[in-house]
Amino acid sequence: MRILFIHTQYLQKGGEDRAVENEIELLRSRGHEVEILLFSNEAGYGFFQQLRSGLQAVYNRHSYKMTYEKVQAFQPDVVHVHNLFFKASPSILYALHKLEIPVVATLHNYRLLCSNALLLRSGKPCELCANKVFPLQGVIHRCYKSSAAASLAATSFSSVHKLLHTWQQKVDQFIVLTDFAKQIIASSSLKLPENKLVVKPNFTPDIFNSDVKREPFFLFAGRLSEEKGVQSLVQAFQQMPDVQLVIAGQGPLQNEIIDRCAANSNIRFAGNLAQPELINYLQKAQALVFPSLWYEGLPFTMIESFAAGTPVLASKLGAMSSLVQEGSNGLLFKPGSAISIVECVRAFQQTASVKQYNEKARQSYLEKFTPAAGYEQLLTIYKTAIWQKKKP
């Protein structure tokens, strides 16, 4: 099969970029011909450049032309679209539709419903815009980059194409990462047909190593920012001086976190770890603590934790509540509550079945998040998209 990927890269590489790389590598390893058309989100800084970027987010003639020419040259059987915002724009869907190419699109976040893509405002989940065709609340609250103009551009990106029925008519199959995300998207203003919405989680290579021994610490690994809940996490471990916490990552709260670690001997800042180092920490930790305040997509850190046989203690919210089975592969706590995190950690420490947690975490990975599982799901989705395109 010939597959073309289309993706707008993030300025700072993240989980979506990694998911794209994983899928391309997997498909090539199974003998498929795969090429990628990449766009960059470098926008420049002045008012007119920002205005131009906002208009391009809705429809970019140059991206249309690039896509049209790439498809004519490569002649793919199916096109897999990832991030369109902002440089690629939905214009590429019009090029693909004109060429009658089957289209699969992965929704990694809530960009089509929310200007900041997180369904988050003031540190709490917010669904004010989820059911509005043109939600002005995101503009009024300046939800994207704390700017009304930027928020208007981000809102227009999706809303104009809701009115044009682009999302309904120009994509054959939408992939969402969790059952929770499917529920949000299915009941939203996108009004996507049920037969076009399918759950397919991210996958990760197996990292399990039975020779690595557990050590007495809990691990946080992620962006050091408000929406990740790292502040309430630190507050919780300040109340547990007998329990060790390792924090790995970087972000806007980094200096604050470093200062707090210096003041608490049981909390250690490990910095931004390279992938092999992070895997080593995941294999040694008692559990991964994931205190995110937003719904999340499907964090690679969580599925890597399961791959390592490491249980996850997470916020009872969004994707986390879909992935963590209470008392099996982990435990859940109240989002943003240091007290609830303390209670959760203590409950985990007091359990007599830590080994069972390890086994269930590992089982979760083997059942859902392996490359083999991802491959079979991808092929099924591609074949469905091709079949739907051929229907009269």
pLDDT digits (tens, 9 = 90+) for 92-126: 999 999 999 999 999 999 999 999 999 999 989 99
Residue 212 lies in a domain: no
Residue among 318, 316, 317, 289 nearest 301 (CA): 289
Q: Cα–Cα distance between 247 and 219 in angstroms, integer?
A: 6
What are the tens digits of pLDDT across the range 271-324? 999 999 999 999 999 999 999 999 999 999 999 999 999 999 999 999 999 999
Same domain, 154 and 62: yes
Residue range 177-205: mean pLDDT, rounded: 96
Residue 308: domain span = 217-368
Structurally, the chain folds into a number of domains equal to 2
Residues 265 and 179 in one domain: no
Q: Is there a single domain that holds both residue 176 and residue 223?
A: no
Same-domain check for residues 26 and 166: yes
Q: Per the confidence metrics, is the pTM higher than 0.75?
A: yes
Instruction: Say whether both 76 and 163 belong to one domain.
Output: yes
Q: What is the pLDDT of residues 350-372, one digit of tens each?
A: 987 899 999 999 999 999 999 99
User: Could you tell me if 138 and 232 lie in one domain?
Assistant: no
Examine the domain organization and report whether 191 and 339 are in the same domain.
no
- 379 and 307 housed in the same domain: no
> Is residue 347, in this structure, part of any structural domain at all?
yes
Tokens of 217: 């610490």
CA atoms of 301 and 140, how far apart (whole Å): 34
The pLDDT tens digits for 44-89 are: 555 556 556 778 899 999 999 999 999 999 999 999 999 999 899 9
pLDDT above 90 covers a percentage of the chain that reads 90
Same domain, 359 and 272: yes
Q: Tell me the CATH number at 49.
A: 3.40.50.2000
